[in-house]
Amino acid sequence: MGSTEKKRARAAVVVLGDIGRSPRMQYHALSLAEQANLEVDIVANGGSDPYVAIRENHSIHLYQMRSIHLRGLSKISSALTLVIKAALQFVILVWFLCVKIPRPDVFLVQNPPSVPTLAAVKLSSWLRRSKFIIDWHNFGYTLLGLSHGRSHIIVKTYHWFESYFGRMTDGSLCVTRAMQHELAENWRIKATVLYDQPPEFFHPTSMRQMHELFSRLQNDICRPNGVCDYVSAVAMQEGLDTDEAITELNQSSDTLFSSQIDSNIFLKPNRPALVVSSTSWTPDEDFSILLQAALMYDRRVAAALGENDSIVEEKLWMDISNGEQQLYPRLLFVITGKGPEKKKYEEQIKKLKLRRVAFRTMWLSAEDYPLLLGSADLGVSLHTSSSGLDLPMKVVDMFGCGLPVCAASYSCIKELVKVEKNGLLFSSPSELADEFMMLFKGFPEKCEALKSLKDGALATSSSSRWSTEWESHALPLISEASFLYN
């Protein structure tokens, strides 16, 4: 017939970083494709796999750039290294945005990093006659200030660059009201608040999904990772070596937390409490706080139960494993994420002498991570924010799975964590250890405070979702900036 299908408008989502570790930008891409009905091109660095929903969506096209590593330059020329790296990234980014991808109607870019991203996207938007929107997750200059100090010339230059190009946009989104106020008062930038919300695939985990997840993670959980603790000791209680014990455990229908008899799956009454923390292993999260709090919990429980130092750990582990329940449970901390300080803290974990506490570090697939959150008993956030103006997305994801949270306290965290409703705040290792003692007393059946917080987290998760918030706050801005619906 004579009619032709109208060409769909396009959006380009730009992340100068690992797209698999940029969940908010992945949610933007899904919303642009599904709620705004756009063709979406993601330009980002490779690394971790994005969500299956991204990979399987025919309207989303992924363009991966290579990360740049300049190992040949000496440490003396660190400033020169930064300049050269930024220049190379600028050229590569402009090449992708102006040549590799089809012309978009609108660019949506994650900030930080600001250098050279904002300049590259601004130039590309001008050359391709596209609109330019920034999604402010934090401030790049405050992150740089963690390592160089706020008064350093590099940090001041970065601050100028970020604010200069930040004012050249056609629209801005940001993650908190505190950040919106800062952008308006001190940067002369009008931004719309789009709170992080969990997408629909973050939800409480069913009993069967829990058991299947614990079975898949059995190897990672039971391996001692260079230390002997209650988990590895229980796995090897029959006198087998590590590999033989794990093989035997895998062939049974049991996990550390759950059992299956015929088609019935149940959680063990003497299981450890599962505590999850997700971290990027960077300086803005002081992981030593959690290590100290875990050590304090271990010592305080021993004192509360009247144990003395002469008790042999192996006997204690076997007694608990064989069904002896006590007022305070063992804790298993599963720490997920990748980052530069991971090895340093893993070495510190190996030096701890713990009776009732064990740590495991691991990297989970995008599909297993929500299942782990939905299977845990408590989440911990150590994020304190370099600017004090952003919120930890990991806490949003935890609430989406109905998981209550203990979070490090800082200026705007109460925009997210409602104290004694869906979580608690702490300012020191001792405070966090006190919260562990209070929440886990009587675990798993008689810990009313923990159950109350879980009910609050479930209520938080059902109150709002990403798709609803995005449609109310981001879609009008995208539509106005790109004239998609005129």
Give bridge partners of residue 18 from the DSSP assignment. 45
Specify the pLDDT at position 249: 56
Is 202 part of any domain?
no
Are residues 156 and 71 located together in one domain of the fold?
Answer: yes
Say how far apart CA 267 and CA 276 lie, in whole Å: 18
244 is in which domain, residue-wise? 207-463
245 and 177 part of one domain: no
Query: Is 473 found in the same domain as 395?
Result: no
Distance, in Å, from the CA atom of 169 to the CA atom of 110, rounded to the nearest integer, reads 13
Q: Which two tokens stand for residue 80?
A: 């020169």
Q: Are 340 and 281 in contact (CB under 8 A)?
A: yes
CATH number of domain containing 30: 3.40.50.2000
Q: Which residues sit opposite 136 in a β-bridge?
A: 111, 174
Residue reference for tokens 């959690």: 290
Closest CA to 155 of 109, 110, 114, 191: 114
Mark whether 193 and 255 lie in a shared domain. no
Residues 79 and 64 in one domain: yes
Residues 262 and 301 in one domain: yes
Average pLDDT, 10 consecutive residues per value, the chain (486 residues):
63 94 94 95 90 93 85 61 88 96 96 95 96 96 87 92 95 95 96 91 92 90 70 55 55 80 88 91 84 95 79 56 74 89 86 88 89 96 88 92 95 92 96 97 93 93 84 91 51
Cα–Cα distance for residue pair 367/53, rounded to 1 Å: 10
Ordered DSSP codes for 221-234: HHS-TTS--HHHHH
SS3 210: helix
In a domain, 4, yes or no: no
Quote the pLDDT of residue 485: 40
d(CA 203, CA 200): 7
**If 0-12 CB within 10 Å is exposed, 13-18 middle and 19+ buried, where does residue 76 land?**
exposed
Q: In angstroms, rounded to a whole number, what is the distance separating the alpha carbons of residues 110 and 103?
A: 19
- At residue 486, the pLDDT reads 41
Q: What tokens appear for 361 in the block?
A: 């570090």
Q: Which residues pair with 33 in a beta bridge?
A: none
Strands 258-261 vs 264-267: parallel, antiparallel or unpaired:
antiparallel
Q: In terms of domains, do 173 and 240 share one?
A: no
Cβ-based neighbours of 324, under 8 Å, separated by 6 or more: 270
